[in-house]
Amino acid sequence: MTSENFAISACPNPSPWRRALKTAVSALLMEAGYQAADCMALETLLEMTQAYITEAGRSSSTFAELSGRTQVMVSDVVMALVEMGTDFTAIPKHARRENKINFLPPVPSTQTPVSKILQVGEKKKHPLHIPDHLPAFPDPHTYIKTQCYKQPANEYQLVREKAASQKRDVEVALTRFIAKTGATHSLFKDDKSSFPLIACKPTPMPSLAGLLPADSQITDQEKSESDGSVKLKQQAQSVQEIGADAGADMTPDAEAIDNPYLIPAKIAKSKWS
């Protein structure tokens, strides 16, 4: 026979020690002949039993401290029970009673699984002056640095693929914009939104457009001709300046030339002449 057969009204028992004490009190009530108990009456008995055990432990600890010890011995418990008015000699007889109810082993409580936290990087170990029982360092990115950017791709193949995809996206976006804002055709008669095509503008003489140069070609040609004329003018001016400098060298005023090797020779006059 166990204490589970004892009918008790539903009442909360959050503490595991409180549940164990409630099981012991229920077993004692069953040995006394009770079949059921109200929740309020059972809680009152629990409070009385808990107060009795707490007082016995406090008194035993006080007698141990009075004797100059830190650990409680059997003699301290006996002195505490005697002071509380309990006959400690009846304890062995009560433990060997015949109608004793066996207690079931306590059921281990299910622990809630700890959620796995994403770890970034390797945690730093404690220095030598910090004990190991202290909490570990957090992730390095919380107090050292936090990289919020991605390294750019420098490989030739990836860069070319990215440039090609961007060019294709731009062309598709521009084609769709022109198709939505201008006249369009479609491959299918009924569906005009799936595959839009830019409408071709008809011209009266389409073969003439290939023979005539474009406006950009005319402007480029005019620009090249103007650049060529400017260069010719500059060359002519430089030739005139060189000729003027050469004519100035032939004049008697040759002292204006800085280079001594280009100054014309002078014949020294004899003192006898």
> What CATH number is associated with residue 56?
1.10.20.10
Burial of 157 from C-beta contacts in 10 A (0-12 / 13-18 / 19+) = exposed
Structural domain contains residue 218: no
Structural domain contains residue 124: no
pLDDT at 76: 92
How many domains does the structure of the chain reveal? Answer: 2
Structural domain contains residue 140: no
171 & 88 share domain: no
Structural domain contains residue 53: yes
3-state DSSP percent of the chain in helix, strand and coil, to 5: 50, 5, 45
Q: Which residues, 6 or more positions from 100, have their beta carbon under 8 angstroms from its beta carbon?
A: 31
Structural domain contains residue 214: no
91 & 14 share domain: yes
Final residue in a domain of this structure, among 202, 230, 257: 202
Final residue in a domain of this structure, among 143, 169, 202: 202
7 & 89 share domain: yes
CB 29 within 8 A of CB 5: no
- Rounded to whole angstroms, how far apart are CA atoms 215 and 237? 33
91 & 162 share domain: no
For 238-261, the DSSP string reads: HHHHHHHHHHHHTSS-GGG-S-GG
Structural domain contains residue 20: yes
Structural domain contains residue 135: no
pLDDT in tens, 124-168: 888 889 888 888 888 777 777 666 667 777 788 888 898 999 999
**Dihedral of the CA atoms 170, 175, 180, 185 (nearest 10)?**
-160
Which helix (H) or strand (E) segment holds residue 164: the answer is helix 156-181
9 & 91 share domain: yes
pLDDT at 7: 53
**Ranges in the chain, pLDDT < 50:** 1-4, 248-255
pLDDT at 164: 92
Final residue in a domain of this structure, among 42, 63, 95: 95
pLDDT at 65: 93
pLDDT at 165: 93
pLDDT in tens, 71-100: 999 999 999 999 988 888 888 888 888 877
Structural domain contains residue 39: yes
- Rounded to whole angstroms, how far apart are CA atoms 74 and 72? 7
pLDDT at 145: 67
Supply the range of the domain harboring residue 44.
3-95
Nearest 5°: the CA angle 215, 221, 224 is 140
For 172-226, the DSSP string reads: HHHHHHHHHHS-EEESSSS--SSSEEEPPPP-S-TTHHHHSPPHHHHHHHHHHHH
CB 197 within 8 A of CB 186: yes
pLDDT at 252: 46
